[in-house]
Structure 1
Amino acid sequence: MRIGELSRRSEVSIRSLRYYEEQRLLHPTRLPSGYRVYDDADVIRVQRIQALLEAGLSTRKIEHILPCLAQHADGVALACSDLYGQLVVERDELLARIDTLRTSVEALEAVISASPSPDAV
């Protein structure tokens, strides 16, 4: 399939697909005309890339994780045990950032609650 079809099937923009290729996350075959050709498996690969990006991982980390993902009955799991620790660290860093953001929201909430509404002034 060509890039437009992959874009439609994966619901990802053509621009993003080209970026994923630049970041070595996608490896389409090139026709002599220069057109990119993708396999059906690339739809799943793009969906995994999207999920990992949404999880907060960088494309550099995703490049190393993608080859180690395997489909299991319960979902996607790592087939490479050496990445397990890295993902645990990544998760813990995300949780720490969430805690920091929650603290910031609570501080803002306190300021907002203690302040008169602009409508009341």
Structure 2
Amino acid sequence: MTGKAYEPRAFCSPSKHFGTSEDVVWRVPVEAQEAVQRKRLKPHLLVAALNQLDDRMLAARYQHDLVVLIRAALDDRRLSLKDHAAHEGFDYTRTTRMLRGEIVMKLEDIAAQHRTLGIAYPV
């Protein structure tokens, strides 16, 4: 997949509840759908572009679920995110952006949270 980076929280409504245990609604942002439609792609490329939006929405849901588990693990250990990041050598600003859904979580991030907090996405 190529293309510009996206914000996972854009697929979550309300976006401020991304990564919390609050009930959220998942949807492909209208702006993203309209941007794809404006490109006037050939039918097979249009389908591929719309499928990519669906893939991003599913990835955003995975990240949301992992963030909920990360926050719960930190609460269980009575650790602040700032303390956890400092202790493990994580970049605090990047970590907070990842947990808020402003940036995409990488596989390395998932592995690091599994190693440090013992959590993994239930597949």
Q: TM > 0.5 between the two?
A: no
TM-score, length basis structure 1: 0.34
Question: Which has the bigger relative contact order, CA under 8 A and spacing at least 6?
Answer: 2
Higher strand share: 1
TM-score, length basis structure 2: 0.34
Larger Rg: 1
